[in-house]
Amino acid sequence: MQNTAYPTFTSEFEKDVYQGLTDFPKHLSSKYFYDKKGDKLFQDIMAMSEYYLTDCEFSILENHKDEISRLFSEDGTPFNLIELGAGDGKKTKILLKHLSDNAIDFKYLPIDISQNALSQLDASIKKELPKIDIKTMQGTYFETLERIHELNGTKKVILFLGSNIGNLLHPQAIDFLQSVQQLMHQDDLLFMGFDQKKNPQTILDAYNDTSGITEAFNKNVLARINTELEGDFNLNDFLHWEVYDPETGTAKSYLVSKKEQLVNIKKIALKVHFKAWETIHTEISQKYDDDVVAWLAKKSGLKIKTEFSDTQQQYKNYVFKK
Ligand code: AVJ
């Protein structure tokens, strides 16, 4: 229990910003990267040559779409294809098209924290794959798990692509996977992407591109505080800093204050003092190997049914069942 008296907050964002910037060391959650501008910046990241994750997963889905579709539909029962963190659905469309072309009976339920991303996805599916029955749901992973619970009855295939799990520390990931496991029935499947440990330089480059796209993405949380909470962050006074620890497999993103400064965030009545070179931790992007994934599965009561990899083993998709 803290006895600090917080002002009354009118949103989760206000509360999290207040708590994160009054904590030591300071932190802000990467879930706040994703507004309209952040969605676009993340699309730009996925298109960068340094960000190998997207190409790897794209090739896995393209090369194995037949086997994956069969795995999803082998018992012949209709299913709900639930996608957590669907984003622009670019990779998912490979599977959606293949399932649709093979007249497989399913309903597509994409979930994302960004309503903007969902609206665009909904429009593009209706245009490109009009036969697909789609229903979008907005929310965080944990919030939407509850709504998935209400879908009981129909078989579930849950997609969690892009190594999105990597934003969670292991204890949180286990917590999340346990919640998913509890929602699953015997025939349900969980199909997930896990970026693999590899040459540390390759990983560092993916999160530290020279064109500054990742920097702008990381700083978008400050831009959002400025516009949504009447903050006066000068984005140029902060440095994007990335570290990768090859022992733990954790890539961490920071914003580092280049000088001593005071930032005023009017809407939450907060003046934040930064010492020169003080940090705000913003994101983790965890990397995995087979042993860590097997450990996570065991801890969460899940079994690995099968796995798919790109030719260079840079990235893997695992299929879990209860
Ligand atoms: C969307 C969480 C998978 O961590 O690789 C990309 C987000 N951050 N570049 C990742 C991200 C910086 C991405 N995930």
Q: Which residue has the tokens 């919640």?
A: 179
CA–centroid distance for 163 within its chain: 7
- Residue 103 Cα to ligand 1 midpoint, Å, equals 33
Pocket perturbation via mutation, ligand 1, pick of 285, 286, 314 by most ligand atoms within 8 A of CB: 285
DSSP single-letter state for residue 196: B
Report the separation in Å between the CA atom of 164 and the middle of ligand 1, taken as the mean of its atom positions: 7
Q: For CA atoms 228, 231, 234, 238, give the dihedral sign.
A: negative
Atom of ligand 1 nearest to the CA of 285: 4
Provide the pLDDT for residue 148: 82
Beta strand 106-112 with 79-84 is parallel
Q: Provide the greatest CA pair distance for the chain.
A: 63
Distance CA 65, CA 96 (A): 10
Ligand 1 geometric centre to CA of 248 (Å): 17
Regions of the chain where pLDDT drops below 70: 1-4
- Residue 286 sits at φ, ψ, to 5 deg, of -75, 140
Q: How much distance in Å is there from the Cα of 214 to the middle of ligand 1?
A: 9
The pLDDT score that the predictor gives to residue 1 is 52
Which atom of ligand 1 is found nearest the CA of 85?
Answer: 1
Distances (CA, A) of 234 to 96, 181, 257, 262, 266: 43, 44, 10, 10, 15
The Cα 306–Cα 318 span in angstroms is 6
Mutate to test the pocket of ligand 1, among 167, 194, 240, 244 (most ligand atoms within 8 A of CB): 167
Q: What is the pLDDT of residue 4?
A: 63
Residue with tokens 């209709």: 78
For the stretch 207-229, pLDDT in tens is 999 999 999 999 999 999 999 99
pLDDT of the residue at 93: 98
Q: For a pocket test of ligand 1, which of 92, 164, 221 has the largest count of ligand atoms closer than 8 A to its C-beta?
A: 164
Q: How many A from CA of 42 to the centre of ligand 1?
A: 8
CA 268, 231, 118, 253 dihedral sign is negative
Close Cβ partners of 271 (under 8 Å, ≥ 6 residues apart): 262, 263, 264, 265
Q: Is the pTM of this model over 0.90?
A: yes
Instruction: Tell me if ipTM is over 0.85.
Output: yes
DSSP notation for 117-141: HHHHHHHHHHHH-TTSEE--EES-H
3-state secondary structure of 240: strand
- Give pLDDT, residue 150: 79
pLDDT at 272: 98
- Token pair listed for 88: 């622009």
Q: Within 6 Å (CB) of ligand 1, which residues are found?
A: 45, 53, 162-164, 166-167, 207, 214, 217, 283, 285
pLDDT of residue 284: 98
* CA 282 to centroid of ligand 1, rounded, Å: 11
Give tens-digit pLDDT for 72-97. 999 999 999 999 999 999 999 999 99
**3 state SS of 261:** strand
